[in-house]
Amino acid sequence: MFNEKKKTNSLSTLLMKVGVLITSLATASFACAVTNNISLAQVTKDVTYLASDDLKGRNNYSAEIRLAADYIAKRFQESGLVAADNISGADFLQKYQITKTIPKKINLTINGQNIASESLAMASTITDFSWAINNNVKNTEFTIHSIGKNDDMRAIVDTLNNQGGKHLVLLNTDHKALFERYQHYLQQGSTKLTQEDNGKNSGGVIVIALSTMKAEKIKTLNVSGVNTISKNELMNVVAILPGKTKPEEVVLYSAHYDHLGVKDDQSDVIYNGADDNASGTTAIINLAHYYAKQGDNARTLMFAAFSAEEIGGFGSSYFSKQLEPQTITAMINIEMIGKPSKFGAGTLWMTGMDRSNLGEQLNTVLAKSGKKIYEDPYPEQGLFYRSDNATLARLGVPAHSFSSAQLDKDQYYHQTSDDLSSLDLTSLHQIIEMLAMATQPLVDGNITPSRIDKKLVKGKGLIF
């Protein structure tokens, strides 16, 4: 019996080893196929052009960002992608308008006393407004809020911003330091997707005044504001590979391709944005080529290069309004993968690992090759909300950003030194390969991540 059991165990061990060997060979074969189809030379060529001085930092309001869009569209077309019906045109460009509102003039008089301009701040989505209270007659057009010495100014203003409407905030002078930070920020203006009705009776306004005045003490009040409003057309680049057996289910690969442009209009001082985010844009271009060459994707694959991420995520916001969120199985948003992460070269991490089981599913795939996707190592920075994935996550899509950035020590972030020379091209290439390997079962329709609970995702401000 003992010998028979030993033989059985030996056979089982042998079969197990054979199984492991077959799995290892299959994994190695797949990894080899990925390497053969995602070329380091092409990755280098793409990121070199997107981060070049010729594109002058891909500022959203520049002529050069159109050159970047045309390049991305051309690469999609060369790979055999097609336009997404009702989303992008035949040229793969999805055009939209944004409206920028910059404060020009604000006046506030309370009980006959003028409040100095240095004590006023304003955020508005409308051209001009004028409110008044006379002889204690209640005005229903706007609401007055008092923020006391011990109140949480940030939380209260955030709440008003999230609910929209028209508000006058009387802020205790003990909050002066924080007020000045808000004032500086709001003076830069607010940007929103262009709405159909942008007249005097629409939109929202928040006026903040440093004052010891209590709302109940106000007998007369006059407040007015004038803003300068400009509109600009921007564009996303969107293309698809139609699914073979599950075309109604979409896997979205995305990255933003805009950056900061030039420094103070000095065209020779350029924020090239090589890591942020020529690297991520290069990834989706090459993933699109890789899957197109495979030609057997069960699900429809959509590739979106978003503009306006750096000024508020308006590209992804517009994009999200043009489709049905339920059709998106998962969103792989790629953000700053041009340098080794804190976990080593060729590794990356993802935001919001606890919000869906996508990370767990991808890591099950990668475990066969000894690789893994790490949890966001910088939770205190709120990165889940700081890229284009947040827009789709608010709609319930399992939408996450994937990055290798070491944000706690990255001296190049939003600096002119974020150029091609700062990148590790080998690590960038390895990360793109790993994303292809990890997401293959998504493409094949073999895994479906859980949806994100929309109620647990923080909303976005309606006014600024």
User: Which pLDDT score is estimated for 293?
Assistant: 96
Average pLDDT over residues 95-107: 95
7 within a domain of the structure (yes/no): no
How much of the chain, in percent, has pLDDT values that exceed 90? 82
Which pLDDT does position 35 carry in this prediction? 58
The rounded mean pLDDT for the chain is: 91
- Please check whether residues 71 and 106 belong to one and the same domain: no
What's the chain's Rg over C-alpha atoms?
26
Do 188 and 281 lie in one domain? The reply is no
User: Would residue 93 count as lying in a domain?
Assistant: no
Choose one of 206, 231, 256: the last residue of a domain: 231
User: 183 and 301: one domain?
Assistant: no
Claim to verify: residue 113 and residue 47 sit in the same structural domain: no
Same domain for 128 and 148, yes or no, is: yes
Q: Which of the residue ranges 37-46, 51-60, 147-156, 201-210 would you say has the lowest mean pLDDT? A: 201-210
267 vs 247: which has the higher pLDDT: 247
Select from 231, 262, 288 the last residue of a domain: 231
pLDDT of the residue at 123:
95
Q: Tell me, yes or no, whether 24 lies in a domain.
A: no
pLDDT tier for residue 32 given thresholds of 50, 70 and 90: low
Residues 174 and 313 in one domain: no
Q: Would the pLDDT of 46 be above 60?
A: yes
What mean pLDDT comes out for the span 102-111?
96
Query: Are 131 and 70 part of one and the same domain?
Result: no
Average pLDDT of the segment spanning 119-133: 94
Q: Do 315 and 377 belong to one domain?
A: yes
Q: Is 135 a residue whose pLDDT tops 70?
A: yes
Model confidence at 22: pLDDT above 60 = no
pLDDT digits (tens, 9 = 90+) for 187-229: 999 899 986 444 444 579 999 999 999 888 999 999 999 999 9
Percentage of the chain surpassing pLDDT 70? 90
Mean predicted confidence (pLDDT) in 418-442: 98
- Same domain membership, residue 289 and residue 218: no
Q: What domain range includes position 189?
A: 99-231
The pLDDT, as a whole number, for residue 201 is 44
When divided into structural domains, the chain yields a total of 2
Please indicate whether residue 82 or residue 368 has the higher confidence score (pLDDT). Answer: 82
Q: Which of 205, 231, 257 is the last residue of a domain?
A: 231
Residue 23 has pLDDT above 70, yes or no: no
Per-residue pLDDT band at 153 (split at 50, 70, 90) = very high
Indicate whether 8 belongs to any domain.
no
Q: Is residue 53 part of a domain?
A: yes
Q: What is the pLDDT of residues 275-315, one digit of tens each?
A: 999 999 999 999 999 999 999 999 999 999 999 999 999 99
Q: Are 348 and 316 members of one domain?
A: yes
**Per-residue confidence band for 266, with pLDDT thresholds at 50, 70 and 90:** confident
Q: Is residue 4 part of a domain?
A: no
Name the pTM for this structure: 0.86
